[in-house]
Amino acid sequence: MSETRIAVEVVAADNDRREAGHRSDYQRLGEKLARSSIDIEAVTAKVAEFFVAVPSWGVGTGGTRFARFPGQGEPRHIFDKLDDCGVIQQLTRATPTVSLHIPWDKADPKSLKDRADALGLGFDAMNSNTFSDAPDQAHSYKYGSLSHVDAATRRQAVEHNLECIEIGRALGSKALTVWIGDGSNFPGQASFTRQFERYLAAMADIYKALPDDWRLFSEHKMYEPAFYSTVVQDWGTNYLIAQTLGEKAYCLVDLGHHAPNTNIEMIVARLIQFGKLGGFHFNDSKYGDDDLDAGSVEPYRLFLVFNELVDAEYRGVKGFHPAHMIDQSHNVTDPIESLISSANEIRRAYAQALLVDRVALEGYQGDNDALMASETLKKAYRTDVEPILAEARRRSGGAIDPVAAYRASGYRAQVASERPTVKGGSGGIV
């Protein structure tokens, strides 16, 4: 039995109040789905086994280029962050792992592992940081890291990634995510070709140090912090990287790292088809890398991404096991509530995608019946699957209504008294 930061009685009391209504909703939905020959129990079982990693940096209040407004009881260090991640997992049962960011979360690996074990948490992909300067580093990343013109700076960036792998090994992680801020702000500032050659050579050094059972994820981003060009600007370049490095290298898709209106679900399909989809950073966006909560602005797009994932699962695509991670910045909400809500929205998109009648869809595609093909997706998307999500949580020991249970627990006020507000601190857009 894991240690829980919220008393189990609080969750049980909130569940008790909702149980009768929930059971009735679940039964009614089960009857409705049965009319379409869908077994609700099979869907609930799959949803209960779907997990997404919480980013350690997500439990602190983020910020923008303009300002950061800290919240109450913010985590002061990685151990506070793990406590907050434990709360999200306790209530949602959808987030059993944490994705660490080095050097922000640097601590003795054994202490980290012990604390995570006590809270029933594991560790997901490690994230390196060569987009900002650590206090004591010899060479600055102002003009780039893995693609820097200076060999010593590139070496330092490679060494940092090797250190992330070492820490990850001690924690039981199985992947390294590399996102760099390298690029240029002026036409002519950098040679696109030579810069990318230097990047590939540095990544090859990191790849060589990767344990056999690890995966290396490269993450593309079209702009910011470099505004004229970035070295890994889109999925095409990302695919070239994964192809060049080898079979343990995969592309990571951060939903916010594309131009507005980009057909992200199609990118996902292409990467699946050619065996290079490594995983996701889930979030939502209106204009750019807004880092808004998953499903908060364009829930249909999230569903369409999951439609591709479930389709791949349905077709039995070999070696298909993408990593699911959240990457958000919370500026106006309690980060714990945002992460609870996002984990639910991600599971919601998955559950809706499981309801798609794939035989009928293929039939309509073959008949060029565009309207009915679209309606087949819409029918699944329009289904209110909340009773399935709630039942998956309840059966796993979580909360029927996790945000309500969280608010009833008074956790935020409790940690606010334990954790004095720190000025500054890390955060912001990643």
Residues near Mn ion (CB under 5 A)? 254, 281, 327
Residue 15 vs 97, nearer CB to Mn ion: 97
> To the nearest whole angstrom, how small is the minimum distance from the Cβ of residue 258 to Mn ion?
12
Of residues 92 and 283, the one with the C-beta less far from Mn ion = 283
Question: Is residue 243 within a helix (H) or strand (E), and if so which, with residue range?
Answer: helix 235-245
Closer by beta carbon to Mn ion, 22 or else 221: 221
**From the CB of 254, what's the least distance to Mn ion, in Å?**
4
CB of 219 to Mn ion, least distance (A): 6
In the complex, the smallest distance separating the C-beta of residue 430 from Mn ion, rounded to whole angstroms, is 6
Starting at the edge strand found earlier in the chain, the sheet holding 277-282 runs 126-127, 175-178, 215-219, 249-254, 277-282, 323-326
Distances (CA, A) of 421 to 68, 414, 415, 416, 424: 13, 13, 11, 8, 10
Report, in Å, the least distance between residue 370 CB and Mn ion. Answer: 34
Shortest Å distance, C-beta 177 to Mn ion: 8
Q: In what order do the strands lie in the sheet with 97-99?
A: 54-55, 97-99, 122-123
The DSSP output letter for 292 is B
DSSP state at residue 284: B
Supply the minimum distance, in Å, between the C-beta of residue 323 and Mn ion.
Answer: 12
CA distance 98 to 183: 29
Nearer to Mn ion, 92 or 218 (CB): 218
| Closer to Mn ion by Cβ: residue 180 or 336 | 180
> 262 vs 383, which CB is nearer to Mn ion?
262
Give the containing element (helix H, strand E) for 388.
Answer: helix 386-395
Question: To the nearest whole angstrom, how small is the minimum distance from the Cβ of residue 245 to Mn ion?
Answer: 19
Residue among 254 and 284 whose Cβ is closer to Mn ion: 254
Q: Which residues pair with 325 in a beta bridge?
A: 53, 281
The whole-angstrom separation of Cα 30 and Cα 37 is 10
Report how far apart, in Å, the C-alpha atoms of 183 and of each of 106, 226, 313 are.
27, 5, 36
To Mn ion, the closest distance from the beta carbon of 345 in angstroms equals: 17
H-run or E-run covering 374:
helix 370-382
Between CA 245 and CA 7 the distance in angstroms is: 48
> What separation in angstroms does the CA of 103 have from each of 40, 106, 213?
44, 5, 23
Beta bridge partners of 218: 178, 251
- Least distance from Mn ion to the Cβ atom of residue 391, Å: 31
- Of 81 and 220, CB closest to Mn ion: 220
Report which residue type is found at 192: F
Of residues 222 and 372, the one with the C-beta less far from Mn ion: 222
- Please say which residue, 280 or 406, places its beta carbon nearer to Mn ion: 280
DSSP string, 36-103: TT--HHHHHHHHHT---BEEGGGGSB---SS-----TT---SHHHHHHHHHHHHHHHSS--EEE-BTT
